[in-house]
Amino acid sequence: MTGKECCSDDNNCKCACCDSGNLVVVGCQWGDEGKGKIVDFLASDYDIVVRYNGGNNAGHTVVIGDEKYKFHLIPSGSIQKKKVVMGNGMAVDPKVLISEIKTLKEKNLDPKLFLSDRAHVIMPYHRMLDASREKKRCGGKLGTTGRGIGPAYVDKVGRTESIRMCDLVNGSLKDRIKGIIELKKDYLVCIGAIKPEEIESYVNDIVKEYEGYAKILRPYICDTSIMINEEIKKGSSILFEGAQGMMLDVDHGTYPFVTSSSVTSGGVCAGAGVGPKVIGKVVGIAKAYTTRVGGGPFPTELHDKKGDELRERGAEFGTTTGRPRRCGWLDLVVLRHAATINGLDGIVLTKMDVLSGTGKVKVCTAYKIDGKTVNNMPASIKDMENAEPVYEELPGWDEFDGTEKKCIPENAIKFIERIEKETGVPVIIVSNGQRRDQTIVF
């Protein structure tokens, strides 16, 4: 929002929604925080929505009335019929993207889509390599979605074996794929993905398939960095939409149990092709509790009936994979880490309704590691695995509804104030359900 709804009577407001023309929305936990709903809610006051990282390993769900929209690649702002941009920091599966475009068109929501010519392309062999590496991984499975995103980013930084969107449409696709398969053939044969005598036909099949994708996607492919920066010069307002969550960031998350891209607000510059001066304000999305999908440490995870209750009440099953999410109490060590790394100006607290009417709640304020109290996020995965949460118990609250702060019960306000005190960041929006109208702006 840019002040049209939350602070229209205060021309001097400096809140995270009102003080800048551009806004970054990031996840503060391990993803699945409800970013899709919040981006949809905010998008009405922005001209363009830009996604800057990840691939179809992410999933955003938006509920409007009886209609449910699920996105994996296209920014959620497409429901608002905004211009939407898929930035160069993304890894894109053309087949999935074309399916999403088709679905939106069927709902009379033909996307005003701009696809970066520098975005990297997920190929069939990336999915094969993803599955093979996960199966053979030592030291615990990462819990990858198997969509090929990790291997695609490996090829990107490897600099010799990756195809970008510009390669799809510049006439060199066959030579590029032939050269890449030549480099990968020994490994692909080794894992049983192809047979030596099938290599030539395998190359031809991929070329034919991806030339078909190129014909459909050609009208959308352009230099999105130029497009975004020209729009900013014209005075257009930009909402930058992050995928996944802070704790899955390749640098600042629970490495190696992370994604392969830069999830933080800092990733906007590289992933969208803009300078840091245009980022504006940063808003972080966090659930009132914590969830995680896949492997890796999760200090506040609940392995009891309360964890099952959170999963059932919150419908905690992945948008992308359908996997049940691991559930636990709110981790304020994680939230403080996210606030610091992302430079948060405000927090959006989602799924407050899941905790309503369930009795007392807990928040983790620190960890105990080898007998010592630790207030900050450890880098060592071993320390994270050994971390014991230090809990503070807070009184619960009854179920509530409405769109104004006065509708929130006193104990829920105290819960919110505890978060603000621990993070040093104001909570500016509370989401109390899946629907767009179940949102309270402070």
Tokens of 269: 């510059």
Length of the chain, please? 442
C-alpha–C-alpha distance, residues 187 and 185, integer Å: 5
DSSP annotation of 255 reads T
Active site residues per annotation: 32, 60
In 218-304, which ranges are continuous DSSP H helix? 224-234, 267-272
C-alpha–C-alpha distance, residues 431 and 434, integer Å: 8
With vertex at residue 342, the alpha carbon angle to CA 223 and CA 77, rounded to the nearest 5 degrees, is 45
Q: Which whole-number Å values give the CA distances from 152 to 96, 155, 156, 195, 220, in the listed order?
A: 15, 5, 6, 22, 21
Pairing of strands 120-121, 91-92: parallel
Q: 298, 291 in Cβ contact below 8 A? A: no
Is the four-CA dihedral 276, 278, 280, 284 of positive or negative sign? negative
Q: Buried b / exposed e across 186-218, counting CB within 10 Å, b at 16+?
A: eebeeeebbeeeebeebbeebbeebeebbeebe
Q: Which whole-number Å values give the CA distances from 190 to 158, 202, 317, in the listed order?
A: 21, 15, 35
